[in-house]
Chain A
Amino acid sequence: MSIKKEISSPVPGVFYRRPSPEEDLYCNEGDTVKAGDTIGLVEVMKNFYEIKAEDDGVVETFNVKTDELVDAGQAVAILTLK
């Protein structure tokens, strides 16, 4: 039985899956990530806050699309732990 864990945004703001519009996605659903890898950005107060995986695992799904608003504490992705 694999353990699933939410990756949450500590800040409210606008969610992005790329470092900038011209660059590639940080990761895709199904990708393996390591603890500390950035999986998205949240823009708030003219700052970009990097959302990082806290554990090694596979990104199961993204709950939020690029340009969507997130609340503080909202889960943006689900990680299946390795």
Chain B
Amino acid sequence: MIKVRKPGLQTTVQDNGRNGYYELGMPPSGAMDKYSFHSANLLVGNDENAAVLEATYIGPELEFQEDLLIAITGGELQPKINGNPVDLWQAVSVKEGDILTFDFIKQGARIYIAFSGGIEVPEKMGSKSTYTLCGIGGLEGRALKEGDVLHTGEMKISDVKIGASIPEELRPTFSKHNEIRVVMGLCSYRLTEESKERFLSIDWTVTPDANRVGYRFKGEALDFIPREQPFGAGGNPSNVTDLGYPIGSIQVPAGIEPIALLHDAVTGGGYATVATIISSDLNKMGQIKSNEKVRFVSVTLDEAIQARKEVGEKIEKIKEILK
């Protein structure tokens, strides 16, 4: 049993996501940085998709009421057990009565706390992930509150040595200036050539409107090609006839302030999506803070698939190391 002494700013139970219901309008939720999420689970011997805690900017304060193996990955947020610093990206043993706290965040935006056995909450539509906008999944469909109690489950599948760690070269690096790879489309044909170039050539600043639903950016206005309003589309040039929004897709309502839709976002609507963040770079996107910069880099679908393959290979390497 784990007692929540302080919840942090926005700490939720997340797993690999509520996949398979997108066409019903149900976004997947799930960990924003899947690489750090899988890594945390592997470090405690869990199935890589077991439920963990995802905390944004501020870590929770937890009291352990059982002996456990835990691991914390993701952004640089120094964890402490009973006031003594412990390493990130490492299997750490905690004893009954130990208290986990965190310092201020230095780099990145989100951390993942995995407990051996995973977090046990009821599955909703095949997932333990919290989707707060709908109030389902996780712990009562909401972020953690002071006084909550978490139980561990049966998702442990292997033994990992206490102190085992993921080597530096397999950990993500963070920067205030980030390149995020995108595949142009589905509706980039709606932008003028000049605006398409501008979209890919300026540094966009992440606004404070940046959460699990989406990230809003500030930069310069973009222009759409004038057109006759099609049947079923809204009157603004940034509108198209409704379509499904790819996860990671970027829309630019009225040509100002692009929004990247992430794991808790609406699944479809009537804005032209001008580009889509490739799945491997969604991990990086989830670690970018408000006020930091993003430059979008256009890649081909083949390059995106190759990048996804490379992330998969890194996870396999981690499994090898922890064997």
Contact = CB atoms under 8 A, between A and B. Distances in A.
Do the two shown chains form a genuine complex with each other?
yes
Interface of A: 8, 10-14, 43-47, 49, 69-73
B211 A46 contact: yes
Contacts of B211: 45-46
A10 B104 contact: yes
Contacts of B210: 44-45
B26 interface: no
Given A13-B208, A45-B211, A69 B291 contact: yes
Interface in B188-239: 208-211
Interface centre among A8, A47, A72 (most CB of B within 10 A): A72
B301 interface: no
B89 interface: no
Nearest to B210: A45
Nearest to B107: A72
Interface residues of B, number: 15
Nearest to B108: A72
Contacts of B208: 12-14, 43-45, 69
A15 to B, nearest CB: 10
Interface in B267-323: 289-291
Contacts, number: 49
A70 B290 CA distance: 9
Interface string B95-123: 00000000011100000000000000000
A64 B113 CA distance: 33
13 contacts: A8-B104, A11-B57, A12-B57, A13-B208, A45-B9, A45-B10, A46-B209, A47-B9, A47-B10, A49-B9, A69-B290, A69-B291, A73-B105
Interface in B1-48: 9-10
Given A12-B208, A69-B291, A44 B57 contact: yes
Contacts of A43: 208
A45 to B, nearest CB: 4
A46 B143 CA distance: 13
B291 A71 contact: yes
Given A45-B210, A72-B57, A12 B9 contact: no
A64 to B, nearest CB: 12
A78 B277 CA distance: 41
A13 B9 CA distance: 13
Contacts of B105: 10-11, 72-73
A59 B304 CA distance: 52
B58 interface: yes
Nearest to A42: B208
Nearest to A72: B105
- List 4 A-B pairs, minimum CB-CB distance, nearest first: A45-B211, A12-B290, A13-B208, A11-B57
B130 interface: no
Contact of A12 (B10, B106, B291): B291
Nearest to B212: A45
Interface in B54-86: 56-58
A53 to B, nearest CB: 16
Nearest to A8: B104
B212 to A, nearest CB: 8
Given A44-B290, A49-B9, A10 B57 contact: yes
